[in-house]
A and B are shown apart, each in its own frame.
Chain A
């Protein structure tokens, strides 16, 4: 491990969350869905409170609430009872069932229990609109919240998508981006005049309106009808460089249904966004809308304007692997030197992806996968960073180093508006650029003995 004296066995101040929370987040982006955790009551409660503190929105997760007895004899009966209650009492159109370390350790056969349940409770499934049950295996001890997120998306595609439908659609698998990002991506699809299935779509479900009435299941989300026809789409665009070559939802659609797969990095910054827009042009067989071209032009203009404030500044970037890769790409484009890229994830592809987006533009930064904040802080000692880019858990380090933290990604629980942060596309790059540059200017102004009002 480059840069540190010692690699620790334990994790101190983790830079990742557990697998089932990712699955719950993904399931929340399906229309009419209730995420359901097969495990002890606390998993649902803890994950809800965490997701809620970021989005400041209701987030319901049902639980099979296993007790010690069930941990010994199996959680099947509780799972069935829980599913029945969610179907009859919440009117779920689809239930996304994710496992936990408890039920994976005791080895509950969830697909088998679900099959039995459907047999035993035929009445609940007697019509076509009967609820769908989708299950994802998400043992908390294997992978991070991102693996859980992708697992749930893959489960949706694997268990729901068919080839029945019109071959006009485009599937967009954006990964874990913000509700604002999703809204913008949908706008882009519209501008290319393609109908698209964005899976998952948390743009409304996790950034809802004040309604004066509470919806037990929030409106919005990817329509199930859309997911059902994903196998007939003309192409799938899947975000995430670390996913390339892996068994992903996009890969599944390609191998099982022959849907053309275009994988691009999470489109953060100009080059990664160019890739995405080019892929859209190819797939839609249409030119980019003038609006986006203009946004790109303004972005270039802004990069030029900004250079004097940030060129040569040193940044530490942390968070989910694919998000960090995208942010690193953006930072290197605007002249900031990414000195350390860190993630709690361990996909095995992080280093090469960071290298790919920095190649020819800046020296390859130190890359730490499987890292925690203790590692990041140790590395930071010798790196003399000027800024941090990542989520709220970096605040302690930012305070210690007395450098700004530009908050992106998840979780953000010490600022308002996490759900409205735009990361992707030209518009996202514009917003990130402004925030990064202004944070640097603000710090410079704060510590200046003169107090310039003109910078």
Chain B
């Protein structure tokens, strides 16, 4: 069901523009690159290339496998000790830099402020780092007595042949706690996406389904929500008001203990499709838990997602409660954003972020009367753009071949279908469960999707399309602002938030107003100069 408010893009000759964009590449690369750019025509079945290796020397915003595994999925789990096995940098760079908030549970365990590493030195590279890793695990255990430890490998580990699996197993037996190895060396795969997959696999193998508890009514897991700026807590607040209990979150405000119980939930709510869809699939196969694709960003999207959950439960009492909460919350949020709408209305936006946010935020912008004109992901796959219906057509490229796909079977004892076959079939047909149509469904004719945008392309887009704002991350924020265009970071929210849910929408509107209407944008040119202070282009184009 597509959003009625989706506008077709303003009259921009995007087709010509696309040709211009690829002109900046070497001929061979340009041909390939062209396939990563699509001008939307919803009437057509369109294909976009994604999840391919970035061209060396072309600066993109992508990270590595380790970043996806440790930085994105594993790092936010706050009641585990995470030991990075490698030289010092990788642990340092992922030390609280994603602003995943964590609230310690009753056991008081909270390691969010810590950054543990084996800090490998030359002698470890030459003689092997296993001994050091063992010692580091022992030390972490002695000092903190954590209930579980993760071991995350960086580039040199695989190359020198350190066996983190056997070290983890040995130390796990010795210490009597779970020690989970993640072979997420940075060079694996083509982006952080490979790391998501590796993280998913091992959470599934080692954590999920380890602790059977009593199944409570209306209990869900949230997958792919990372509690940036407190997003998870706003979502939980609303769900709780509706009478829905959150059993565990993967992995924002994530608790290892709660994840072990996650197989007792009725249904999985899937936020970031890219980073956790593997777990959603595997849990469905093994335990019979279906998943609902939700989008908790934006007032209308949030309301729609809550309704979907109510439809899944099909419980009149719950439905009534959900409807009531929606009515109250929507009214309040709309009142909250009302004063900003006249100031934001009609402003155009370009979004380059993540594997889901470039999609999720489009609805929120429409709530505010703004117009998304270009969107792209950094590390998504085709299904995140085109929808899961293309999954059978996606070929595994050589770079990703070594990322294991787990073979999952029904759990002989704990497989428990949440609904009868007929209901499941109906829910699927009605697109309540197990369905995701990707970013496409939210992008009107003439808008543009660009996968893994480069600096060069970003610059051209800004010059040609003159957007009122660009949403991206810290790596291009200041590039964008040098052009005189306001930029909002949608990775770390410019240290603000929450932006999810009903209250988040109001926070977001306030932040955008502050950004776009900052008086400074009018002061950039001094009175004695109509032209900018310096306009020299130092580069020599060949």
Contacts and interface: CB of A to CB of B under 8 A. Distances in A.
Contacts of A42: 62-67, 90, 186, 192
A85 B26 contact: yes
Contacts of B532: 211-213
B206 interface: no
Nearest to A55: B478
A236 B10 CA distance: 59
B61 to A, nearest CB: 7
**Which of B24, B83, B478, B525 has the most CB atoms of chain A within a 10 A radius of its CB?**
B478
A141 B524 contact: no
A248 B188 CA distance: 36
B23 to A, nearest CB: 11
A208 B480 CA distance: 13
B149 to A, nearest CB: 11
A46 B63 contact: yes
A60 B478 CA distance: 11
B407 interface: no
A30 interface: no
Give the one of A42, A208, A215 with max B CB within 10 A.
A42
Contact of A85 (B58, B87, B191, B541): B58
Given A211-B533, A212-B484, A216-B539, A101 B93 contact: no
A209 B534 contact: yes
B402 A68 contact: yes
B11 interface: no
A178 B59 CA distance: 26
A79 B120 CA distance: 25
Contact of B479 (A45, A53, A212, A214): A214
Nearest to A144: B88
B536 interface: yes
A46 B93 contact: yes
Given A12-B115, A20-B89, A213-B532, A70 B187 contact: yes
Contacts of A82: 56-57
A270 interface: no
A63 B56 contact: yes
B462 to A, nearest CB: 8
A115 interface: no
Contacts of B537: 213, 215-216
A102 B156 contact: yes
Interface string A1-23: 00000001111111011111100
A18 B87 contact: yes
A213 B188 CA distance: 36
B535 interface: yes
A89 B57 contact: yes
A58 B539 contact: no
A67 interface: yes
A105 interface: yes
B89 A18 contact: yes
Nearest to B131: A9
Given A41-B191, A105-B160, A60 B56 contact: no
B100 to A, nearest CB: 15
Contacts of B24: 89
A212 B89 contact: no
Contacts of A19: 89
Contacts of B535: 211-213
Nearest to B190: A67
A377 to B, nearest CB: 11
A102 B186 contact: yes
B interface: dominant SS: loop
A327 B154 CA distance: 34
Interface stretch (B121-129, B256-264, B442-450): B121-129
A12 B88 CA distance: 10
B395 interface: no
A250 interface: no
B122 A142 contact: yes
A397 to B, nearest CB: 10
B174 to A, nearest CB: 16
A83 interface: yes
A139 B155 contact: no
A21 B57 contact: no
Contact of A71 (B159, B191, B525): B159
Given A89-B456, A210-B481, A41 B54 contact: yes
A90 interface: yes
Contacts of B474: 49, 52-53
B118 interface: yes
B75 to A, nearest CB: 13
Contacts, number: 270
A287 B344 CA distance: 60
B482 A214 contact: yes
Given A60-B59, A68-B187, A91-B542, A17 B159 contact: no
Given A139-B122, A211-B534, A78 B56 contact: yes
A141 B125 contact: yes
A195 interface: no
A34 to B, nearest CB: 9
Contact of B90 (A46, A52, A67, A90): A46
Contacts of A67: 53, 187-190, 399
A14 B483 contact: no
B2 interface: no
A43 interface: yes
A52 B475 contact: yes
A17 B159 CA distance: 22
A67 B191 CA distance: 10
Interface stretch (B135-143, B293-301, B324-332): B135-143
A240 interface: no
B93 A16 contact: no
A64 B56 contact: yes
Interface in B102-138: 113-122, 124-125, 132, 135-136
A303 B117 CA distance: 42
Contacts of B480: 214
Contacts of A141: 87, 120-122, 124-125, 156
B454 to A, nearest CB: 9
A69 interface: yes
Contact of B478 (A9, A56, A64, A216): A56
Contact of B538 (A53, A56, A81, A215): A215
Nearest to A20: B89
A171 interface: no
A217 B140 CA distance: 44
A41 B119 contact: no
A70 B55 CA distance: 14
Contacts of A242: none
Contacts of A88: 26, 542
A68 B188 contact: yes
Nearest to B192: A42
A142 to B, nearest CB: 5
B398 interface: yes
B186 A14 contact: no
Interface string B453-467: 001100100100000
Contacts of A64: 56-57
Contacts of A44: 59
A184 interface: no
Contacts of A41: 54, 60, 62-64, 186, 191
A106 B475 contact: no
B76 interface: no
Interface in A199-252: 208-217, 219
**In the A-B complex, the 3 residue pairs with the closest CB atoms:** A42-B64, A18-B89, A85-B57
30 contacts: A8-B139, A10-B119, A11-B91, A11-B119, A12-B114, A13-B95, A13-B114, A14-B92, A41-B63, A46-B63, A46-B94, A52-B478, A53-B97, A59-B475, A64-B56, A67-B53, A69-B399, A71-B185, A85-B55, A86-B57, A88-B26, A102-B186, A141-B122, A141-B124, A210-B484, A211-B533, A212-B524, A214-B482, A215-B539, A216-B456
Given A102-B186, A210-B484, 9 more contacts: A10-B139, A14-B91, A45-B62, A53-B474, A60-B59, A89-B58, A91-B541, A141-B124, A215-B537
